[in-house]
Amino acid sequence: MKITDTIFFQRKLFITGRNALLLVLLGSCIEQFDPKVIAYQSVLIVDGYLSDKAEPYRITLSRSRALNNEEFLPELGASVSIIGSEGETYPLVEGDSGLYISNPSEFVAMVEQTYMLDIVTANGNHYQSDPVEVKLTPPIDSAYFKREQRIDDEGLNLDGVKILVDAHDPTSGTHYYRYEWSETYETYLAYAAPWDYDSMAPDPRFPIKRKEVFAQVCYSSRRGNSILIADTDQLAEDKVSEFEVTYVSTEDYKLRTRYSILVEQFALDEKGFHYWSELKKNSESLGTLFDPLPYELRGNIKNVNDPDEAVLGYFDAAQSSQFRLFVEIDQLRDLTFPSTGCPNSLDTVALQDIPINLTRGRLISVLGPYPVQFVLMSPRRCADCRVYGSLEKPDFW
């Protein structure tokens, strides 16, 4: 889960209702106020956690950025390692863009064992997390979907399904939960074209070439980036019921053939839950007058030599509980799908009439014997599924 790296906020003031009359009466006395952005300080951001999965752990280091800067600022050249309770050290290898990766053949975190994150940046600053225990996580009881229509930002009705999770801890020892998810879906194109138009063909009588691959079915994957936490502390049972992980609409190809989502559940302690809860409030607020004021949010990572330095991030560890759900098109026969626009984007053109600018970004299917007189031209988004994903089928598919 990517932690937001906007530390300083610029708040807008909205004048509504009874204040409007005052504006009318005093309009000639009001001067436009242009708030100045407060001083900016670069802050280290740490994003990562441990689980009991035998796979590489990923720690991302970056720097906060000013409001007018959209560039991701990776922290490069750092020395990053995991330190066990007995002092054993497991180094991570630097990858791309501030990513530091462990070797699962050398280190896999053990449940109920304690670990610390240790960071030495290129400029010599030394950071360490508090010791964290790999917490036991109860299993996910079920992940499932329910049909629901919603309204988008433009006021239009959306059709789709919401993905829900149920879980409980029979020992009543968890109370705080965090969720992550990754989705994969199949894209099937009815107008996939086996031919390309070759404007550089040496013989203009044969400007058609067969594609290297027939890209009709592809697979796309992505991870969710929302902060998803649940709290059962005030409930009679340590039970999560119908917790919404995400909403999947029919706007794109996700639900048109086959969709899958892998939900991961992690136990949190009270301190970790408080951190994620406050981060969620700060990062997902709407920017209105009545939102809570953002403030400097500190996690459990500190500069060893300067504890007062602000560091954003929370290093945690918990057992991973997983549940994979498949949604088949046969289960969604009552859903309504908007048109892709592809049937209306096909053009039958005489070969000699194809202008070069028409072929850009388009593929063709051949009509008639070869050499042909006519071709059926299609936008690449309707004829080559590689626009949306990869031809490689996932192992779990």
pLDDT band at 127 (very low <50, low <70, confident <90, very high): very high
Distance from C-alpha of 305 to C-alpha of 302, rounded to nearest angstrom: 9
Decide: helix, strand or coil at residue 353. Answer: helix
The mean of the pLDDT values for the chain is 84
Residue 172: other Cβ atoms inside 10 A: 13
Is the pLDDT at 203 greater than 90? The verdict is: no
Q: What is the pTM of this model?
A: 0.82
The pLDDT of residue 290 = 52
288-334 residue pLDDT tens: 545 555 557 889 999 999 999 999 999 999 999 999 999 999 998 88
Is the pLDDT at 23 greater than 50? The verdict is: no
The pLDDT of residue 192 = 85
Distance from C-alpha of 250 to C-alpha of 148, rounded to nearest angstrom: 11
Report the b/e string of 335-357 with b at 16+ CB within 10 A: beeeebeeeeebeebebeebeee
The pLDDT of residue 13 = 31
Burial-class residue 223 by CB neighbours within 10 Å (0-12, 13-18, 19+): exposed
pLDDT band at 377 (very low <50, low <70, confident <90, very high): confident
The pLDDT of residue 37 = 54
Distance from C-alpha of 160 to C-alpha of 24, rounded to nearest angstrom: 46
Q: Rg (Cα) of the chain, in Å, rounded?
A: 27
DSSP labels for 293-338? PP-----SEEESS-TTS-EE---EEB--EEEEEEEEGGGGTT----
In the structure encoding, which two tokens stand for residue 323, read together? 């549940």
- % of the chain exceeding 90 in pLDDT: 58
